[in-house]
Amino acid sequence: MKIIGIDPGTTTTGIGIIEFLYGNCSLIFYDALHLNSRDSLHSRLKKIYDECMNCIKKYKPDEFAIETAFYGKNIQSTLKLGQARGVAIIAALNSNLNIAEYSPREIKKSVTGRGAASKEQVQYMVKSILSVKRTKITTDSSDAIAVALCHYYSLQNNLKRHATAKKENTWESFIEKNPEKILLRN
Q: Tell me which residues are annotated as active site.
A: 7, 67, 140
Q: Please calculate the CA angle 107-132-124 and round it to the nearest 5 degrees.
A: 45
Provide the 10 A C-beta neighbour count for residue 59: 14
Q: Do the Cβ atoms of 100 and 148 come closer than 8 Å?
A: no
32-to-29, 145, 162 alpha-carbon distances in Å: 11, 11, 36
* N residues, the chain: 186
Pairing of strands 2-7, 24-34: unpaired
Q: Please calculate the CA angle 29-31-32 and round it to the nearest 5 degrees.
A: 160
**Three-state DSSP class for residue 184:** coil
Tell me which residue of 136, 140, 142, 151 sits closest to 122, measured CA to CA. 142
